[in-house]
């Protein structure tokens, strides 16, 4: 990903910043689109993973829809040229303002997560005399076996409607005349690397479909969410996720009715590998059992390690020295501001350029101004003029 020319260029740019390889992004999208189109599956990009306009433009040009989790994400999508019919909207706590926006813009579907939400959407739709397409986000009670902070499909999680509430919901829906139930929605978690989990999801989705069919409800679409993981350990070798195996699981195990559409909401797997956080070593400091490499990037630029102990590959782009052990940390006044402990790096010195890999998803979007840090900057491979 980083040739000599690029590294020399990095040396002239003020760090820290995110660097996005748009060629890799395009290739990744191409592979995903190729696999999904075999079965006419519809892909929505989960905008919350990275909402940079340059990235969204590439995604839009490649004919994907979007999955939004806030009103501002809907506005950003429309602003970038996505059409309303390609937008889905999920979230456990949608405000009236956000729901009104979704109603006004005629998006494809609102994914609803509770009884009260259905009642509120119905009322707001009634106010403007519209009938709104809704899908029920069902909590399938499946353990995605990922970090517990990014597991969403267990009954103990706040997301979705639990299956034991469905009788009551169906009865209620009969009274809610401004809603049209068009589909079911599932999303069980993120960074799922065991594809067996998705097979389990398919089987649960089939059971749920049968239940709805037994209640004389035909569903126009099934949305199976996202969550496909990426390889944080070997970003170079596995720069594009195994979309083929992922998509085939759904083709093989999901019972799809005639005229029924299958939707996906993929975030991380599309954008994670194309992004790196580029930073410089400010100081090397001796510790008891290790040395600290103190970077000019911190948890304010990349929160994932502090937030859920995530691993990112760390590379020194300059040094060719012998390997030594470092705790790679940021400058922020928190002990959790640590990118990696006991990381083996070639002997590292003040001024070396460090790349923190696989940070295109849930990196820049989570940056903050804590410690009154400057807003993080970004560069794209297209902009690099040598």
Ligand X SMILES: *Cc1c(COP(=O)(O)O)cnc(C)c1O
Among 21, 35, 67, 327, binds ligand X (CB under 6 A): 67
Q: How far apart are the C-alpha atoms of 366 and 7, rounded to whole Å?
A: 26
Look at residues 38, 48, 44, 46 and name the one whose alpha carbon lies nearest to residue 62. 44
CB of 269 to ligand X, least distance (A): 6
With 0-12 CB in 10 A as exposed, 13-18 as middle and 19+ as buried, what is 259?
A: exposed
Q: Is residue 60 a contact point for ligand X (CB under 6 A)? A: no
Q: How many CB atoms lie within 10 A of CB 5?
A: 10
Site stretch for ligand X (CB under 6 A), options 23-31, 41-49, 170-178, 214-222 = 41-49
Q: Which residues contact 180 (CB under 8 A, 6 or more apart)?
A: 131, 132, 133, 134
Q: How far apart are the C-alpha atoms of 353 and 317, rounded to whole Å?
A: 6
Binders of ligand X in range 68-97 (CB under 6 A): 69, 90
Q: How far apart are the C-alpha atoms of 345 and 320, rounded to whole Å?
A: 9
In the block, residue with structure tokens 């909207």: 89
CB of 126 to ligand X, least distance (A): 26
Q: Is residue 187 a contact point for ligand X (CB under 6 A)? A: yes
CB of 23 to ligand X, least distance (A): 21
**Conformation bin of residue 304: beta by default, left when phi > 0, alpha when psi is -120 to 50:** alpha
CB of 91 to ligand X, least distance (A): 7
Q: How far apart are the C-alpha atoms of 117 and 95, rounded to whole Å?
A: 9
In the bound state with ligand X, the residue whose beta carbon lies nearer, of 110 and 293, is 110
Among 28, 190, 338, 348, binds ligand X (CB under 6 A): 190
Site stretch for ligand X (CB under 6 A), options 221-229, 242-250, 288-296, 313-321 = 221-229
In the bound state with ligand X, the residue whose beta carbon lies nearer, of 266 and 332, is 266
Q: Is residue 242 a contact point for ligand X (CB under 6 A)? A: no
Among 49, 278, 281, 356, binds ligand X (CB under 6 A): 49
CB of 142 to ligand X, least distance (A): 14
- Residue 283, SS3? strand
Q: Which residues bind ligand X (CB under 6 A)?
A: 46, 48-49, 67, 69, 90, 187, 190, 225-228, 265-269
């Amino acid at each position: 990903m980083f040739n000599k020319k690029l590294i020399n260029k990095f040396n002239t740019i003020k760090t820290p910043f995110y660097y996005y390889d748009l060629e890799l992004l395009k290739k990744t999208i191409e592979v995903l689109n190729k696999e999904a189109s075999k079965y006419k599956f519809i892909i929505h990009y989960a905008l919350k993973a990275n909402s940079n306009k340059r990235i969204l433009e590439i995604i839009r040009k490649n004919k994907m829809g979007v999955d939004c989790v806030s009103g501002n994400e809907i506005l950003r999508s429309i602003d970038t040229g996505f059409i309303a019919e390609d937008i889905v909207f999920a979230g456990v706590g949608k405000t009236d303002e956000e729901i009104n926006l979704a109603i006004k813009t005629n998006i494809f579907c609102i994914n609803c997560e509770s009884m009260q939400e259905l009642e509120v959407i119905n009322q707001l739709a009634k106010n403007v005399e519209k009938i709104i397409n809704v899908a029920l986000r069902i909590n399938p009670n499946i353990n995605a076996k990922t970090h517990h902070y990014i597991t969403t499909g267990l009954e103990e999680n706040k997301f979705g409607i639990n299956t034991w509430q469905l009788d009551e919901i169906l009865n209620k829906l009969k009274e809610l005349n401004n809603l049209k139930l068009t589909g079911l929605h599932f999303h069980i978690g993120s960074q799922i690397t065991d594809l067996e989990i998705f097979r389990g999801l398919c089987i649960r989705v089939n059971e749920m479909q049968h239940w709805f069919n037994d209640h004389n409800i035909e569903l126009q679409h099934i949305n199976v969410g996202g969550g496909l993981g990426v390889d944080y350990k070997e970003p170079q070798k596995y720069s594009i996720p195994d979309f083929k195996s992922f998509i085939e699981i759904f083709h093989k195990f999901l019972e799809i009715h005639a005229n029924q559409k299958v939707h996906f909401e993929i975030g991380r797997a599309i954008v994670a590998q194309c992004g790196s956080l580029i930073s410089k070593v400010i100081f090397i400091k001796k510790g008891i059992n290790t040395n600290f490499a103190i970077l000019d990037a911190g948890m304010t630029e990349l929160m994932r390690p502090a937030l859920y102990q995530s691993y990112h590959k760390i590379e020194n782009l300059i040094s060719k020295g012998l390997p030594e052990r470092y705790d790679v940390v940021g400058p922020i006044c928190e002990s959790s501001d640590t990118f990696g402990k006991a990381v083996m790096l070639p002997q590292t010195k003040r001024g070396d350029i460090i790349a923190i890999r696989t940070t295109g998803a849930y990196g820049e979007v989570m940056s903050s101004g804590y410690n009154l840090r400057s807003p993080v900057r970004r560069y794209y491979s297209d902009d690099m003029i040598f």
